[in-house]
Amino acid sequence: MTDRALVVVRAGALTTVQDRGRPGHAHLGVPRSGALDAPAAALGNRLVGNPSGAAVLETTLDGCAVRPRCAVTVAVTGAPCRVVVDGRPAAWGTPVRVPAGAVLDVGRAVCGVRSYVAVGGGIAVDPVLGSRSTDLLSGLGPAPLADGAVLPLGRAGAPCTHVDVAPQPAPPAELVLRVTLGPRDDWFTPEAVRVFTSRAYRVSAASNRIGLRTEGPPLDRAATGELPSEGMVLGAVQVPPDGRPVVFLADHPTTGGYPVIGVVRPSDLPYAAQAAPGTPTRFVAVRSR
């Protein structure tokens, strides 16, 4: 059978379908979702000749394996990893031709967390609210990959790009997140704000697509009352009762009742997506643009 589809051989720890997400639905309680490392996903699409917003596979830590039912061109970007086609090593970060029936195995991340598998034509699952992204918080979009699942592919378009002018940065050895303080920094003591912007944290193993959790010095509140639930944005740094900051990522809730001490610059969030547990982390205060 040579229809345009992928069969999942090994789903991995967590592999999801992602594109640019579904922004603009927060008033309905629908998170943005989408690829956490958007530049890596867009690069993979460029390499295989897809539009930048085509749906790709986002793997977590240990990759995945798929078998195409037709010959396809793929590119693996994001976290560096071993790429194998039917037992033979293949290139990472460049277009690779995979014959029909061959197994493409995307291995464990050598560094970083999330790799992206772009396939010529894109992953063509049915869109929900204009996006094919899996949203782990709301449950919208396709379910995370499972062994034996079949994913339809779109029709391949433009020729692949063998060389890309934009080099892909390596996952960070230290995660530096620029934050604009507010809107609730006045809910914390001046010393807590100083600690937040000067002391070292590290990425917690409890992090996921909803938020990057941190370990480090807790932040003391100046206000002890309850905060009414209010809207949350991508990159908001919420501080729960344990005092450890949480950076909201793509599947974050649209509202929350804990104070937001600051908001991370959007351009820094792809680095947060690739920060492995234990990565040293600093928050640097900057003025809003």
Where exactly are the structural domains of the chain?
5-152, 175-285
Residue of higher predicted confidence among 73 and 164: 73
Checking if the pLDDT of 166 tops 60, the result is no
C-alpha to C-alpha distance for 200 and 247, rounded to whole angstroms: 15
**Parallel, antiparallel or unpaired: strands 64-68 and 104-109:** antiparallel
C-alpha to C-alpha distance for 117 and 107, rounded to whole angstroms: 11
* Least reliable range by pLDDT among 23-32, 56-65, 79-88, 131-140: 23-32
Which residue, 170, 208, 193, 212, is CA-closest to 259? 193
Checking if the pLDDT of 62 tops 50, the result is yes
Q: What is the pLDDT of residue 1?
A: 44
Quote the mean pLDDT of the chain. 94
Q: How far apart are the first and last CA of the chain?
A: 54
CATH tag, 175-285? 2.40.100.10
**Confidence band for 156, pLDDT divided at 50, 70 and 90:** confident
User: 205-238: per-residue pLDDT in tens?
Assistant: 999 999 999 999 999 999 988 899 999 999 999 9
pTM for the complete prediction? 0.95
Checking if the pLDDT of 171 tops 90, the result is no
